[in-house]
Amino acid sequence: MNVLVIVLYLIAMVVIGLWAARRARTATDYRVAGRRLGTGLYTSTMAAVVLGGASTVGGVGLGYQYGISGMWLVVAIAVGLGVLSLFFAARIQSLKVFTVSQMLQLRYGAKGGATASSFVMLAYTIMIAVTSTAAYAAIFSVLFPISRPWAILLGGAVVIAYSVLGGMWSITLTDLMQFVFMTVGIFAILLPFSLAAGGGWSGIRERLDSSFFDLGAMGLQGIITQFVIYGFGMLIGQDIWQRVFTARSPGVARWGGVISAGYVALYGVAGALIGTAAAAVLPTLEMPDEAFAAMAQQHVPVGLGGVVLAAGVAAMMSTASGATIAAGCCGRAPPRPAPCGPWGWGL
């Protein structure tokens, strides 16, 4: 049953990509969804792109290792997104560009480092896409009777298919579906079942050392590291900026981003609580990152466990697709609308 849920999820991603391809008629449609996203779509797509495998599987793993202090990785992402949204997003959206490199070109001219920045952003987005692909392929290789290379090909083919078919419109609509899976899978299924498996909050506290309930258990240096790497990373990424460019107005970019940041922070707390519960009921796992899949398969009913695993895959695929289209838009060409076919760039 769990495998069937994942298969249906993958099919749905491709179908949505095919449907969304009809809306990508210009380069602006393809790259930034026509700059027409309202608060609802913008909020969901921004939350989906910043929450990936590190936030979901890794966040639960940190909860398994450090208890509620494991939330700091995802909270750092939320703080970075909140700062970007409150202080920079409205200005970024009003520039009407496609890339970070184009913004640098507007500010410093063609010789002001725009070309170099495009190569930096290309390398950055490709690395995100590769690591996200490897993450969800690890789940596929366990669920399906295929080797790791075939799992990478399967997942990569799905992501590339819906990303290329309709560009940012496909990614926006698939992100909306992925956001729903993540919300239901984490908040409505895995969190309550995990707490129940541990005998409720009181039962978990009885089984674990008090350090699991200390917000500073990760250590000051570890917490600062999360903010330096993930918080500041939210301010400069082409994949994040490209979502800002999709907003319908500066107000949507600012307040939709703030709402997304609030959701992300709650997601981080939920992941840490799930990991803490896993430490109470599955204390012998070899690796902390195994906690997410182990709880979904062993302490969630069949079928619902598939939804939880799909939520993890959704988080990874949304990040991979966002990085994929960002990698294709890292240049500094003038942002002029041009005819664009369903397969991508100008015909």
Residue pLDDT, tens place only, 234-243: 888 888 888 9
**Contact call for residues 25 and 337 (beta carbons, < 8 A):** no
Reported pTM: 0.87
Q: Which of 125-134, 167-176, 237-246, 303-312 has the lowest average pLDDT? A: 125-134
- Percentage of the chain exceeding pLDDT 70: 91
- Note whether residue 78 is domain-resident: yes
| DSSP code string of 132-192 | HHHHHHHHHHHHSSS-HHHHHHHHHHHHHHHHHHHHHHHHHHHHHHHHHHHIIIIIIIIHH
- Note whether residue 333 is domain-resident: no
Q: Which of 2-6, 78-82, 171-175, 193-197 has the lowest average pLDDT? A: 2-6
- Note whether residue 46 is domain-resident: yes
- Note whether residue 125 is domain-resident: yes
**Contact call for residues 257 and 85 (beta carbons, < 8 A):** yes
d(CA 169, CA 24): 7
CATH of the domain at 186: 1.10.4160.10
- Pairwise pLDDT comparison (27 vs 56), residue with the higher score: 56
d(CA 273, CA 82): 23
- pLDDT at position 344: 38
- The count of structural domains within the chain is 1
- pLDDT at position 335: 43
- Tell me the pLDDT tens digit for each residue of 88-147: 999 888 888 777 777 777 777 666 556 677 777 777 777 777 778 877 777 787 778 888
- Note whether residue 29 is domain-resident: no
d(CA 319, CA 178): 10
* Summary mean pLDDT of the chain: 85
- pLDDT at position 332: 47
d(CA 176, CA 46): 10
End-to-end Cα distance, the chain: 43
Q: Give residue 300's domain range.
A: 2-16+37-327
- pLDDT at position 330: 57
- Tell me the pLDDT tens digit for each residue of 40-76: 999 999 999 899 888 898 899 999 999 999 999 999 9
> Residue 73 half-sphere exposure, CB side, CA atoms within 13 Å?
23
pLDDT higher than 50, residue 342: no
- pLDDT at position 341: 40
Report residue 315's pLDDT band, with 50, 70 and 90 as the boundaries.
confident
pLDDT higher than 80, residue 182: yes
- Note whether residue 249 is domain-resident: yes
- Note whether residue 157 is domain-resident: yes
d(CA 317, CA 323): 10
Name the CA dihedral angle for 98, 103, 106, 109, rounded to a multiple of 10 degrees.
-110
d(CA 165, CA 182): 23
pLDDT higher than 70, residue 297: yes
- pLDDT at position 274: 96
- pLDDT at position 329: 65
- Pairwise pLDDT comparison (282 vs 14), residue with the higher score: 282
d(CA 268, CA 270): 5
d(CA 220, CA 242): 33
- Note whether residue 153 is domain-resident: yes
- Tell me the pLDDT tens digit for each residue of 198-236: 999 999 999 999 999 999 999 999 999 999 988 988 888
